[in-house]
Amino acid sequence: MPSQPNFVRIRSLGAFVLVALLLVTSVIGCSQTPSASSSETASPSASPSASPSSSSSAAESAPSAPETRVFTDGLGRDVEIPVHPQRVVVSEFSSQALTVGVKPIGLGPNDLKNAFTQAQLTGIDDVGDPPNAEKILDLKPDLIIFSQYMPEIYPDAMAQIEKIAPVVYIAFEDPIYDVLTTVADALGKTEEAAEWIKGYEAERDQVREEVQEALGEQTVSIFRIQKGRLRIYLSTNFGGYALRSALGAKAPEAVQEEIAKAKWANAVEISLEKLPEYAGDKMLVIVAGEGDDQDEYQAIKDTALWKSLPAVKNGDVYFLDTLKYYNSDNVTVRETMKEMAALLTGKAP
């Protein structure tokens, strides 16, 4: 049996070991607690500090806005085009592009004849007719807009051009509600087109009312005199659309029959002997101021047939500037509409 002092030492040593074991257990317990908290922190739902990281990852993985879209053109082709084209080449649609705030980098020569937009077309490259593929390639377009007839007229050139950038073909129908809106859609500018149309319609309604009040049941025809050719214009270019669709002027029966055959036909060529059938109570005449066309007019106006026409006898023949009426775009329609309205209502100077 151990002596008392040794027993005391043994008890003291036992107490010391017990205290040490308690301390170790406490330390281990404390070291496990942060580990559990760290696990909860990793959960996205438990820790605010994890949210920015998660949001950033979500933003990085979210798809960006598409840069292209599919556009169905006038030939029924589905073409992938830029959502917001920046470098656009057009053949005959610069007026529509300018209307919605897009200045093309290349255009066809016919647009350069537009009396109402020439000032805005300075410095723009003429890509030619037939269109020059090399010139278009140098311009580095991201979208090309041509008329529906180009593949038929210039198949080889268009086959090359279609390899340069997306090409959409536009059908020639209603210049306001079809051509303008379609070109604007291709350019991603539908709202701008709608705003322009709203202003046009307000102006159109006003002058149409004035014209119809002035004309009553009188008919109006519009035609062009050229060397060896007499053309009656119908419902599209050379003032036809502005006269019929915008102003609502009544056409002679023979002209109306031609329009009924093909709504968007440009003109019909007639012989001089047929002119009394197509001439209206008021006549709008397009003829060059000089040259062979003017010589042709001078010869016609001296004929008994010309002098017998009601419009000639009543002084209701009005001459139009060829350059102003050459195009049939929305800008030309609006401006010539106002000019013809002034002539037909007697308000022109």
Distances (CA, A) of 247 to 94, 96, 331, 336: 24, 21, 15, 10
- Structure confidence at residue 26 as a pLDDT band (50, 70, 90): very low
Which residues lie below 8 Å from residue 147, measured CB to CB, with a gap of 6+?
91, 92, 93, 169, 170, 172
Q: Is the pLDDT of residue 47 over 70?
A: no
Q: What is the per-residue pLDDT for 113?
A: 87
Separation CA 263–CA 285 (nearest Å): 22
Separation CA 328–CA 175 (nearest Å): 7
Distances (CA, A) of 320 to 5, 222, 273, 289, 327: 136, 9, 23, 10, 13
Pairwise pLDDT comparison (56 vs 307), residue with the higher score: 307
- Structure confidence at residue 4 as a pLDDT band (50, 70, 90): very low
- Structure confidence at residue 236 as a pLDDT band (50, 70, 90): confident
Q: What is the per-residue pLDDT for 349?
A: 74
pLDDT digits (tens, 9 = 90+) for 55-65: 444 445 555 65
pLDDT digits (tens, 9 = 90+) for 121-159: 999 999 999 999 999 999 999 999 999 999 999 999 999
Which residues lie below 8 Å from residue 231, measured CB to CB, with a gap of 6+?
223, 224, 267, 268, 269, 270
SS3 319: strand
The pTM of this model reads: 0.79
pLDDT digits (tens, 9 = 90+) for 156-194: 999 999 999 999 999 988 999 999 999 999 999 999 999
